[in-house]
Structure 1
Amino acid sequence: IDALTSANVLTFADKGYQGAGGSVRTPFKRHRYRPKLSRRQRAVNRGHARLRARGERAIATLKTWKILTKLRCCPRRATAIVQAILVLHRVETSRYSG
């Protein structure tokens, strides 16, 4: 968290990181015996979930490619490999989606 904050990287985290501060954004959390979340807070939580869902899905897709478990190279090359994997994945899913 400190490294993300010092690098000023905007990060969307789950409710477990409540109070992390800095550039870490978390959804609103309803506590027991407190009023329900407002309409605006629920809308913010929905938008937050939409953004996080993209990242979660991308990570799940990358985990299916076993090459990444044994990847030992520089970050620049790893980025190129990940981009190639995502292109291949999109080609495959578009081929079978009809």
Structure 2
Amino acid sequence: MHGPGRQALACWADKGYQEAGSAIRVPFRGRWDRLSTGQRAVNTAHARIRALGEQAMATLKTWRLLRKLRCSTTRITSLVQAVLTLQLTCSN
């Protein structure tokens, strides 16, 4: 996943990714009522972080521009940044 001079990018995933690697952060397994108070707090924080990513992906999927776009991934990144800046500016 990472070679010399490169760091792993942390990824917050759901419980289905247990043992996927050290860079994959997953919540504690088990029934809510059997988890310790600390584990519950970690799972709650984990869910909040994941929710932000899920909302961002849902927003990107609604952009018609991205469904019709045919160019390099470098240019797509710049376009997404520009559109997101405009969207956030208009919504505030």
Instruction: Output the TM-score relative to the length of structure 2.
Output: 0.82
TM-aligned CA deviation for residue 14 of structure 1: 0.8
Q: C-alpha separation between the residues in 1 aligned to 2:29 and 2:84?
A: 33
TM-aligned CA deviation for residue 42 of structure 1: 0.5
Deviation string for 1:54-98 (max 9, x for gaps)?
Answer: 11111111111111112221222111111112122213322xxxx
Instruction: Output the TM-score relative to the length of structure 1.
Output: 0.78
Q: Within 5 Å, give how 1:53-92 maps onto structure 2.
A: 53-92=51-90
- Percent same amino acid among aligned pairs? 51
Q: C-alpha separation between the residues in 2 aligned to 1:14 and 1:8?
A: 18
Report what 1:28 is aligned to: 28
Q: What stretches of structure 2 of length at least 5 have no aligned partner?
A: none
Report what 1:11 is aligned to: 11
Deviation string for 1:1-41 (max 9, x for gaps)?
Answer: xxxx336111111111112122111001106xxx7010000
Asked if 1:40 corresponds to 2:38, the answer is yes
Runs (4+) off by over 4 Å: none
- Tell me which amino acid in the other structure corresponds to 2:29: K
RMSD of aligned C-alpha atoms?
A: 1.7
Q: What stretches of structure 1 of length at least 5 have no aligned partner?
A: none
- Tell me which amino acid in the other structure corresponds to 1:24: I
Aligned length: 87
Report what 2:48 is aligned to: 50
